[in-house]
Amino acid sequence: MNQHNNPGETRAYTRRDFLNSSLAMASAAVTVPHFIQASAYALPKAAHGLTSIAGVNEDRILVVIQLSGGNDGLNTVVPFLDDNYYRARPGIGIQRDQVLPLSGKGVDGVGLHQSLAPVKELYDDGQCAVIQGVGYPNPNRSHFKSMDIWHTGDTSGTGDGWLGRYVDSECCGFGKGESGQAESTAPATAAIPPIAIGRTAPLALMGRSTKPVSFETADLFRWTGQDVHRDLADPYRAINERAPTANDDHSTAAFLMRTAMDAQVSSEQIRRAVGARPLVNYPNSSLANQLSMVAKMIRAGMKTRVYYVTHGGFDTHSGQGGANGRHAQLLGQFAQATRAFYRDLEAQENAERVLTMSFSEFGRRVSQNASQGTDHGTAAPMMLFGPMVKAGVVGNQPSLTDLDQGDLKYQIDFRSVYAGILDNWLQADAETVLEKRYRAVDVIHAT
């Protein structure tokens, strides 16, 4: 139990004290909330190229767009010169005149679904890379399992998330480990947590010590008790801005008080950020809303380095459509939202700081099924966006005839793409984060 033996000495530090006084940050390390402590610790890194000052190009950000349900890769990046494609998909194939052919060195016979015209714009503008035939050995066709495999970067689908381990390695110097570490030996600092838009936090962002912040709308990332009666806000704030005293700083109560203060700080920061108007118009879709929130948080100078958004509905077992229809609509939403996001980032002059990666847990079967849809498959293309990517098509379209039980054979391991992003964009040690060495796919311009 807390012993408040001398109230004069245990004057509570408030959040405002911390925000207003940089001196407090330097001297009162025992009582500052995690967020502020983390940024104070991050300062020495400026010496080797990274700074945590918002607006500086080298403060690099990764945005992940998850296409949930298994996106049909063959109707996304279409091998329109291959007759086998049309034979396998008589009802849902995209006709040649409805494909937007991709140009570039060594690129032949592949094009984007016509709904991806905004992505084609980015491609032609040198801001989009398409990586062909991405997958992993012994593909799993369960949504859950395959998603877990992509999230953990481990073919068993167990362990911490790859981006959680990345943030862990940046702040605390360890990756995946045994659970059950004594709490007294747990690291005292926490990294700036990744942010996921959505009700639940994706496994990819779960680290040993890193836990993401996730919310569906920022308005709900706060204490709802104050909506019951506004008079409750004051006592709530008074009680949650108490700080532990130096002599019980390691107690669980002190840990909870710091977390409570963190939550207040990040809640206010996030709600202030997303309360702003976007700089450009976004289309009306869930993904566009999510990306516009991310753009606003970036614009507000938040120090978050990883954002995660989700675009669902890709499990097209029946009535998938072709050049038009359900799948076309999903692709259109994806392309338009991504295009608007980069327009926004350009208007903010932040585009150079933001790499976006899209992926899905698997592609779909080569042959359509009896319900004018496609079943769970294996390898599929990934896309990367941003001015830093080496635009073009990486890798070859997997063969449509040399199949593994009716499914494409993968050409590039998805962890090689992760390694490329970790090494060349986030400037982390991919081998530490992925706990194994993968040949990094070369898709980021050297800076």
Partner 1 sequence: MPAQDQPTRLPKHMRSIDDSRFGYDEARHLLWRAGFGGTPDQINTLASWGPQRAVEHIVEYDSIPYESPDATLFDSQIIRPYTEEEQRIIRQARQSRDEETVARFRLMQQQSQRDDRRQVRRIQHWWVTRLIESPRPLEEKLTLFWHGHFATSYRTIENSFHMFQQNQLFRKHASGNFAELLYQIIRDPAMLAYLDNNDSRVGRPNENLARELMELFSLGVGNYTERDIKEGARALTGYSFNDDSFVFNENNHDKGSKNILGQSGRLDGDDFVTAILEQRACSRFICTKLYRYFVAQVPFNWRDIPSDQRAFIDQMASTLLRSKYDLQPVLTKLFLSEHFYAPSVMNEQVKSPVELVVGAVRSLHTPVRDLNILTEALDLMGQNLMFPPSVKGWDGGRSWVNTSTFFVRQNILAFLLTGKKPVGYDALADQQEYKSEELLSWLRETDPSAARDPARVTDYLLRLTLGSAPPRASATLEDFIHDHGDNLERGMLTALLLIITAMPEYQLC
Residue 358 pairs in a beta bridge with: 65, 383
Give the shortest CB-142-to-partner 1 separation in angstroms. 8
Q: In angstroms, what is the minimal distance from the CB of 352 to partner 1?
A: 29
Question: 111-113 and 99-101 as β-strands: parallel, antiparallel, unpaired?
Answer: antiparallel
Q: To the nearest whole angstrom, how small is the minimum distance from the Cβ of residue 355 to partner 1?
A: 24
- Which amino acid belongs to residue 257? M
Q: Structure tokens of 16?
A: 């405002």
| 362 close to 133: Cβ distance less than 8 angstroms | no
CB of 102 to partner 1, least distance (A): 33
Judged by beta carbon, residue 372 or residue 416, the one nearer partner 1 is 372
Please, which residues have CB within 8 angstroms of residue 105's CB and are 6 or more apart in sequence? 392
Which residues does 370 contact at the CB level (< 8 Å), separation at least 6?
none
Strand partners, 311: 67
Query: Phi and psi for 45 in degrees, rounded to 5?
Result: -65, -20
Residue closer to partner 1 by CB (options 62, 213) is 213
| Min CB(200)–partner 1 separation in Å | 6
Contact yes or no for 62/421 (Cβ under 8 A)? yes
Return the number of other C-beta atoms located less than 10 Å from residue 20's C-beta: 10
Residue closer to partner 1 (CB basis): 251 or 432: 251
C-alpha 337/C-alpha 290 separation (Å) is: 9
Smallest separation, CB 265 to partner 1 (Å) = 9
Smallest gap from Cβ 252 to partner 1, in A, equals 5
**Residue closer to partner 1, measured from CB, 106 or 180:** 180
Q: Which amino acid is at 415?
A: R
Of the two residues 73 and 193, which places its CB atom closer to partner 1 in the complex? Answer: 193
Give CA 114 to chain center in angstroms. 26
Q: Are strands 128-135 and 380-385 parallel, antiparallel or unpaired?
A: antiparallel
Residue ranges binding partner 1 (CB under 8 A) = 1-5, 7, 12, 144-145, 158-159, 178-183, 185-186, 193, 199-201, 211-216, 220-225, 227-229, 231-232, 235-236, 238-240, 242, 251-253, 255-257, 259-260, 262-263, 266-267, 317, 369-371, 375
C-beta closer to partner 1: residue 134 or 192: 192
Least distance to partner 1, CB of residue 194, Å: 11
Question: Smaller CB distance to partner 1: residue 138 or 185?
Answer: 185
Considering beta carbons, is residue 266 or 292 the nearer one to partner 1? 266
How many Cα atoms are found within 13 Å in the side-chain-facing hemisphere of 92?
29
